[in-house]
Structure 1
Amino acid sequence: MSDFQTIYNRKNTHSYKWDHVQTVFQTDDILPMWVADMDFKAPEAVNQALKERAEHGIYGYTIINDDIKNSVKNWVQYKHNWDIETDWLSFSPGVITSLHVAIQSFTKANDKILLQTPVYTPFFNIIRNGNREVVENPLVYNGEKYEIDFADFEQKLQQGVKAFILCSPHNPVGRVWTKDELLKMAKLCIKYDVLLFADEIHADLVFDGYTHIPMASISEEIAEQTITCMSPTKTFNLAGLQASFIVTTDRKKRVVINRELAQQGFSMLNTMGVIALEAAYESGKPWLTDLMDVLLEHKRYAKKKLEEETNGILKVIDSEATYLLWVDCSKLHIDDKDLQTFMIEQAKVGLNPGSAYGKDGEQFMRINIACPKATLEDGINRIIRAVNHLKK
């Protein structure tokens, strides 16, 4: 059984999550539950492989050979029942890098790119920093879960959208899109000749009862319209090692992507990232199985406790994937800025404000539950005490 209960001190390790809180929250007197990495050690097979490589002591340029490509191919087949070819693979330091490359490769200045908000903050940045225009298709929150407004989706595509960044599974709302939903989106993109850039970095972190379907796996026609971005980094807590891959079935598009990667200086991964990727995909299955059991228990605990012990003031969206909880705080009846201040100064927890994911995220907070149970209990209790004190 993997160890997900030991509390490790991550301070003074150059951790963005733990060592950057003073800058982000203007205090270090908080419990950080924000950045989407885990407070768990990576699988032992990964750590052992990295140790062995470090003992070798020479860190020259490192190739991505057929063994590594086959590790990716086999993992995608095992986890998502998608039979990809190794020739379809390109590699980059991260999914955001991959999306940036896709945007630079297939759109031009002032082009419109569609997002389904509230959505992962860096999507806005890579679009705007590239002098493209963000077009929003707000997801519809029905009080329990989020759904797609397909009438609005089609209307926005009709306005000349050139590309659509699909977040699947969705961060932060935790949806795992059904095959019907994916098909409807894909058919509309094909109808209006809109490229699909699929961020599927959370694909491996899906709870029982739900199935992640890679958009490009549905049909050859959809695959030719889609560029898929995946990575082991969220799955196995390897974000700092920077290793991801792009799946592009269309040869002409793949040539363009590889040329853009080379022009951007991303023709090679770092040595440790390559080692970690291969070790995780070859030997990480048991660790991931244990992790998902822990995350399911954590999700149930946090949802039940936050809702019951605040008498329904807080509402936790029942996530279908990821280790991120999306919490509806609207019944606190405080504005968005004051909500952020409340969580920092009264609850003393560092969370991601929902407004960071677009206007539709206002009155929500995002909580990272990928931490030892004792840490989670501490954070949840801090929030409950603060909420209940506010109600008095």
Structure 2
Amino acid sequence: MVQYNFDEKIERKGTGALKTDALQERFGKTDLISLWVADMDFRCGDFIIDALIDCCKQGIFGYTIFPEKYFLSVKDWILEHHHWLIEREWFSFIPGVMKGIAFAIINFTNPKDKVIIQPPVYYPFRLVTQMHNRQVVNNPLIEEDGKYRMDLDGLRKIIDKNCRLLILSNPHNPIGISWKQEILEELAEICFEKNILVISDEIHSDMAIFGHRHTPFALVSKHAEQNSITFMAPTKTFNLAGIVSSYAIVLNKEVRNIFYSFLRACGLDEGTIFSYSATQAAYVNGSEWKRQMLQYIENNIRIVDSFLKKYIPIVKMFMPEASFLVWLDCRELRLSQKELNNLFIEKANLALNDGEVFGKEGIGFMRMNVGCPQSILIEALNNLKNALKSG
């Protein structure tokens, strides 16, 4: 069995990587430890690199057909990892999950219609809705007893005739919740009854950790199946964000015809040779890489948890159930959000995501990406400890 080296440090500065080469623009400094944007600092498995090299060796990059083996690799992966048997007619390539969400907004809402999100949540949900001149309606999660839960009673109260879509983060970003079957069932019933289409962003679906399991929204009930669009991708799992490769799964024939006709009319349902090849290589050969990667992520999360409890108990973390993102509760520091960002950037020399961008419910929080070598993570934690010690 191949043992993958996730301790390897790879210099990304100067490669065009958003995580490093946008630091000056986003944070005002270039020398920060970069733990913000949600890609990992791990080298892709050789099985993916070799597949891409084979594409390049041919030396011709002409028009590319949709490979049947590509779909079969996706089908087999989803069946093996999520116990969901999908059919070819339900499936379409899309050029990115957020683009898919934008396409859904365009096709299933009109200007001034309302789109429901559940903050604190991935902030492009809000931005893309607003940029398409739709109204954002917030159904905030409820925080209690050190955990978050959906406010389904609150959801029932805020729905009116202009609500058309609900964008579900499943698993939830930034908190890392793997939503349970019964919660998704109730959400599905509410949305079906009120004729609100659920757009389920499941880009982190392969990254359930600590014994948790991902539940695809469309699997929880007949109403969920017939009233949803699911978006998935290999990009988070296998660190392929720079290779645009995502896909949609739509079971409702009427919804599917509308959505997929739009994709075809715009030429948006066709991938590149690299997206097809990388996805197929990942899904056919990547199970062991994924297993080792998730084990490494779990160890990194444990490092953060034990370090904070021992050295910085005033900062707390929500234990994620999925992905490599950690939601840090810094409210006991009693700093304004501006002061909190200044602490991380200017004093600790760290680039994390400002919690407020995920909604006002994120004030007092920061999002940390722990998808990095442990030595870098420990250096970052020591920076934070020393910054707080120095006042």
On whether the aligned pair clears a TM of 0.5, the verdict is yes
- 8 Å CA contact retained: 1:329, 1:363: yes
- For 2:323, the equivalent position in structure 1 comes to 322
Partner of 1:309 in structure 2?
311
Identify the range of structure 1 (281-290 vs 84-93) with the bigger mean alpha-carbon deviation. Answer: 84-93
**RMSD of the TM alignment (CA)?**
1.1
SS of corresponding position for 1:204: helix
Cα distance between partner residues in 2 of 1:135 and 1:240? 31
Given the alignment of the two structures, is residue 59 of structure 1 paired with residue 61 of structure 2, yes or no? yes
The equivalent residue for 1:354 is 355
CA contact (8 A) 1:169 1:203 kept: yes
| 1:1-392 aligned within 5 A | 1-158=3-160, 160-310=162-312, 312-390=313-391
Q: Distance in 2 between matches of 1:317 and 1:348?
A: 23
Q: How many angstroms does 1:268 deviate by?
A: 1.4
1:325-345 superposed Cα distances (whole Å, 9 cap, x missing partner): 000000111101111111100
Confirm or deny: 8 A CA contact 1:157 1:189 kept in the other structure. no
In structure 1, what is the Cα distance between the partners aligned to 2:121 and 2:169? 8
Partners of 1:61 and 1:250 lie apart in 2 by 31
| 1:74-131 superposed Cα distances (whole Å, 9 cap, x missing partner) | 1111110011112111111110011111111111111100000011011111101111
Q: Alpha-carbon deviation of 1:304?
A: 1.3
Aligned length: 389
Could you tell me which amino acid in structure 1 is paired with residue 124 of structure 2?
P
Comparing 347-356 and 246-255, the one that deviates more: 246-255
Alpha-carbon distance in structure 2 between the residues aligned to 1:386 and 1:138:
32
> Residue 137 of structure 1 contacts residue 152 of structure 1 at CA under 8 Å; is this kept in 2?
yes
TM-score by length of 2: 0.97
SS in 1 for 2:226: helix
Could you list the per-position Cα deviations for residues 207-251 of structure 1 after superposition, in whole angstroms to 9, with x for gaps in the alignment?
132111101012333211010000000010000000000000112
The one-letter amino acid of 1:54's match is C
Whether the 8 Å contact between 1:230 and 1:245 is mirrored in structure 2 is yes
Q: Which amino acid in 2 is paired with 1:375?
A: I
Greater mean deviation of Cα atoms: 16-25 or 155-164: 155-164
**CA distance, structure 1, for counterparts of residue 324 and residue 228 of structure 2:** 26
Contact (CA 8 Å) 1:95, 1:244: kept in 2 or not?
yes
Structure 2 portions without partners, runs of 5+? none
The aligned amino acid for 1:238 is L
Q: What amino acid does structure 1 have at the position aligned with 2:248?
A: I
TM-score, normalisation: structure 1: 0.97
The letter for the 2-side match of 1:184 is: E
